[in-house]
Each structure stands twice: as structure tokens, then as C-alpha cells.
Amino acid sequence: MKLTSAELPYGKNNNHNNNSQQPSSSIFLRSSSKTLILVTLTLIILTVVPLYYPLHKFPSTTTTTTSSGGGDATVAPVVYHPQDEVISINDNHHKCDVFSGEWVPNPDAPYYDNLTCWAIHEHQNCQKYGRPDSEFMKWRWKPDGCDLPIFNPYQFLEIVRDKSLAFVGDSVGRNQMQSLICMLSRVEYPIDRSITTDENFKRWYYVSYNFTLATFWSPFLVKAQLAESDGPTHTGLFNIYLDEFDEKWTTQIDEFDHLIINAGHWFWRPALYYVNRQVVGCRFCQLENITDYPMTFGYRKAIRTAFKAINSRDKFKGVTILRTFAPMHFEGGTWNEGGDCVRKMPFKSNEITLEGVNLELYMTQIEEYRKAEKMGKKKGLKYRLLDTTQAMLLRPDGHPSRYGHWPNENVTLYNDCVHWCLPGPIDTWSDFLLHMLKMEGLRSAEEKSHSRGYRTNSRVLKQKIWNEI
């Protein structure tokens, strides 16, 4: 089987040798401790009550199989504690940057394998293709200064009940969605409600929770087309219309409560950049009369246009989450020149620094995100960062490498150091996402309580909550 062009990353070497300071990436969450206890209690009431009996409620859809997958990894059985469901976020979390931390051992992981979860993409099914080690599955993310709870599928599904979430971007976004489906598979599998047969535009529906999960393929986030299938690096030359919306997704988002936007790897590819339908430059097109720009030139404009598209939808009321760039880890060469990712362990945060193109891409994202957030605020739209860059920088061990296909297969991407094995470190993105949804709940409850002037009747409400507990 050949990797489709959709699978192809753009290889460049990462140097992993510096021991300097990490660029710190934080979401500062404001704390308002007065309302917090009240809000927390409200959330407990809102979310715990229906959560006590999910296993009994949906016995037919609950996966109870636990079987042994590849390597010596076994899937942790479902251990269900009602107290897990209590959303208790203490003040600390308001100050804690959950995206800054270290990987620590987690003997309980993984929480699914290729036998219990059917959603694993062929080229990320590392167990199937003989990856011998399983250590890479057995880590969890430990933020400095607080804890990030392991993903609780019951709690997640309860929070997203009657809601919808869409992934917009490239195959790493799809990688995340499949990881999420696998993490949720202990509770329920979605049914396929896709409205097209195009595998790049899937819609999954969780019947018991009325929750829709969708994916929109848009690796450049803006309108683009393949101009030439070969091109200077034999990976195609693209026309990217940096100021034009990719309507395949921009016209479809209105109904979604959450959008998770991602892009990056495709901007390595040779491309002609268009603005106003005029060529304004290119990236590695090797055409003499066209200015060659670094990839961030196109990347910045494309992200800006994508955010502009979101902010211009009158009916869209959802939360836009930018999932920041997940660095690739080719070492010893580029993707097509023998580069590989053979490490078996995560880095410690003092062993590697975000730098070079990875840093540029990340900074570009953050800068454009900040602008979009400001613009969105005027329209009442919320923006959030799913800031995975630092955590993933530390995981050179989590890629398929040569275990994304059979050894004799002639694939374009020889060693895949871009995508992430499932199960694997990308499962942690669901931990982050659940945390963010909880914080979202807290924040909107806080906002409501402020706007409704809860101060005056908070005692009454508190009393009510205690009575119900």
C-alpha cells in the first residue's frame, strides 16, 4: 500500500542538541476564587448526577474486551469510579499552565489497543506492523505545578452531550480524532453519519450522547490545488490561494460548538503563493522569476485567512481551538534521505529546545492566534489554545518510524516521524481537551454568575446545591 500524498510530511532535520531554556507557552487563566467553589459545585451537580450509571445504561455499546495487543502492552481494564466524574478544579489549575511539564511513567497505559479499537489508521497501527517495544505507550503528561487527570471517557461524553466538535486541518488532525475515538471506545463507538464518501470528510455520531464528531480535510486551511503532481521534490507543486477561504470547511462550521484547527506540515511542500489570484511568491518552486519565501510566509497568511473565515461567519457561535504544531523528529537525515526516529524514550524538558523552523511555525501560530482572538472577541467568539507543541517536542519515540507499513512496501514516506502511533503520546491530547472543556464550563459558569449578579442570591444557590448533594 502506498501512502497517499495526504500522508506526506516535509522532512527537515530537527537538531536535538541544545540545552537551553524552553520558550514558555502558556494560557493564563484568570482565577476568581470567590465564585469558584460555587461554580465547581454547580458543575458537580450538572454533570455528576447523570454519570453514576453509564455502564448500566449502555451495556450494548460498552466495550468490555481487554486483550493483549502488540509488544507486551496490555490494555488497562475499565476502572470506573463515580468520584472520577466530579469535576473538581482547584484554584491551582487557574494558575497552572497544563501545557508545560514533563512525561512521567504511567504503568496503566494504554487504554485501548488495535484489537479493541477499530479506528486506528492503517499507517499509525504500529503494533500491527511489528513495532517491538511498548514503552512509548506508557507515559502520561505531568504539568509543572498541577496534575492533568487521565482522560475519562464518561466525563468527556457527558460534557459534550448534545454538542458537536469538528477537526479542520491535515492528517495529524485526523490522527487526533482517531485517538479520541479510541479513547472513547471504552464507552461507546460512534456510527458513521458521513454525508460524503470522501474519507477526508467524516462525520461520526455518538447515539447515546447526541454528540457529533467531524473531520474536514484542509491541509493548507485555505483554498489550494495541486498544480503539478511531481514538482521540485517529487511531492507535488501546489497553488495556494492565501487570501481565499477553503469553502469545503468554512461553509460547514456554523453548527459546530467546537472547532479544532491545525495545520503546518504541508507548508514544507513546494508551492506557488497567490494573493488576489496573482502569484506573489513561492516556497521552493525553483522558478527563476518568482521570489522564494520561507514557509512561514505562506503559513502566516493562510492561518490568518482561516481565522478571518471563522470570524466572518455570522451564525458560527462555537469555540475555536488552535491545536499548535506538533514537531516531527527526523534524525540523521531528511524524510527522504534516510532520516528516522528510533528513540525509545521521551526527552526530559531540559534535553531539547524548540528551535529553528519548529519554533518559527509555533511563533507564527501564536501571533496569528492572538490577533484572531482579539478580532473574535469583538464578535463574542471564543478562541483557545490546545498547546501541544512542547509536550510533543519531547516525544521522538512516539512516531511510527518504519512500523507504519510492511517492510517490503514501497511507500513515499519511508520512515514516518510526523504522525503518531496509536495508542501513543497523541492520546494525551484528549487529556488536554477534556481539561479545556472543563475549564470552559467553569469559565462560562463564572461569566454567567457575574452577568446575572449571583452575588445577591449566591447563598440561596449554595444552599440549594448542598441540599441536592
Is residue 171 a contact residue for ligand NAG (CB under 6 A)? Answer: no
Stretch that binds ligand NAG, among 243-251, 286-294, 308-316, 343-351 (CB under 6 A): 286-294
Helix (H, G, I), strand (E, B) or coil at 75: coil
Q: Does residue 419 have an active-site annotation?
A: yes
Q: Is 388 in the site for ligand NAG (CB under 6 A)?
A: no
Q: How far is the CB of 423 from ligand NAG (least distance, A)?
A: 11
Cis peptide upstream of residue 149 (ω within 30 degrees of 0): no
The Cα 121–Cα 226 span in angstroms is 24
Q: Which of 93, 329, 419, 435 is catalytic?
A: 419
Shortest approach of ligand NAG to residue 69 CB, angstroms? Answer: 5
Q: How far is the CB of 424 from ligand NAG (least distance, A)?
A: 14
Locate 354 and state its grid cell: 524548540
Contact region for ligand NAG (CB under 6 A) — 56-64, 145-153, 159-167, 430-438?
A: 159-167
3-state class of 172 per DSSP? helix
- Nine-digit cell at 102? 514533563
In the list 289, 451, 456, 467, the residue contacting ligand NAG (rule: CB under 6 A) is 289
Indicate the residue among 126 and 183 with the shorter CB distance to ligand NAG: 126
Concerning whether 416 is annotated as a catalytic residue, the answer is: yes
- Closest CA relative to residue 406, chosen from 7, 4, 122, 116: 122
Q: Does residue 127 interact with ligand NAG by CB under 6 A?
A: yes
Shortest CB 131 distance to ligand NAG, Å: 9
User: Whole-angstrom Cα distance, residue 61 to residue 54?
Assistant: 11
10 neighbors 327 (Cβ within 8 angstroms)? no
Distance CA 324, CA 264 (A): 9
Of all residues in this chain, which one has the CB nearest to ligand NAG in the complex?
70
383 CA to centre of own chain: 14
Is 163 among the residues that bind ligand NAG (CB under 6 A)?
yes
Alpha carbon distance 344, 136 (integer Å)? 6
Question: Contact with ligand NAG (CB under 6 A): which of 93, 94, 123, 128?
Answer: 128
When computed from its CA atoms, the radius of gyration of the chain, rounded to whole angstroms, is 22
Count the residues of the shown chain that bind ligand NAG, applying the rule CB under 6 A.
Answer: 16
Greatest alpha-carbon pair distance for the chain in Å reads: 76
Here the cell at position 64 is 468490555
Q: Which residue, 70 or 423, has its beta carbon nearer to ligand NAG?
A: 70
Give the shortest CB-347-to-ligand NAG separation in angstroms: 27
Looking at the Cβ atoms of 103 and 274, the one nearer to ligand NAG is 274
11, 70, 396, 441: which one contacts ligand NAG (CB under 6 A)? 70
Strands 278-283 and 271-275: antiparallel
Residues in region 343-382 near ligand NAG by CB under 6 A: none
Question: Which residues fall within 8 angstroms of residue 38, CB to CB, at 6 or more apart?
Answer: 449, 454, 458, 461, 462, 465
Phi, psi of 268 (to 5 degrees): -70, -25
Residue of 19, 225, 410, 467 that binds ligand NAG (CB under 6 A): 410
Q: How far is CA 7 from the centre of its chain?
A: 17
> With binding defined as CB under 6 A, does residue 125 bind ligand NAG?
yes
**Closer CB to ligand NAG, residue 161 or residue 248?**
161
How many residues make up the chain in this entry? 469
Instruction: Classify 362 as helix, strand or coil.
Output: helix
Q: Interface mask (CB under 6 A) for ligand NAG, residues 98-117, using x and -?
A: ----------------xx--
DSSP H or E stretch at residue 222: strand 222-228
The DSSP code for 416 is B
Stretch that binds ligand NAG, among 23-31, 97-105, 121-129, 430-438 (CB under 6 A): 121-129
- Of 17 and 289, nearer to ligand NAG (C-beta) is 289
The grid cell for 234 is 517529487
Q: How far is the CB of 165 from ligand NAG (least distance, A)?
A: 10
Q: Which of 24, 67, 210, 457 binds ligand NAG (CB under 6 A)?
A: 210
276 part of the interface to ligand NAG, by CB under 6 A? no
Q: Which of residues 220-239 bind ligand NAG (CB under 6 A)?
A: none
Per DSSP (E only), the strands in 372-417 are: 382-386
Q: Which region, judged by CB under 6 A, interacts with ligand NAG, from 51-59, 91-99, 161-169, 382-390?
A: 161-169
Region of 277 on the Ramachandran plot (φ > 0 left; ψ -120 to 50 alpha; else beta): left
Q: Indicate which single residue of 76, 290, 363, 461 sits in contact with ligand NAG (rule: CB under 6 A).
A: 290
Q: Which is nearer to ligand NAG, 258 or 301 (CB)?
A: 258
Residue of 113, 416, 427, 431 marked catalytic: 416
CA distance 255 to 262: 19
Query: How does strand 382-386 pair with strand 319-323?
Result: parallel
In the complex, the residues that contact ligand NAG under the rule CB under 6 A are 69-70, 114-115, 125, 127-128, 162-164, 210, 279, 287, 289-290, 410
**Catalytic residue positions, numbered:** 171, 416, 419
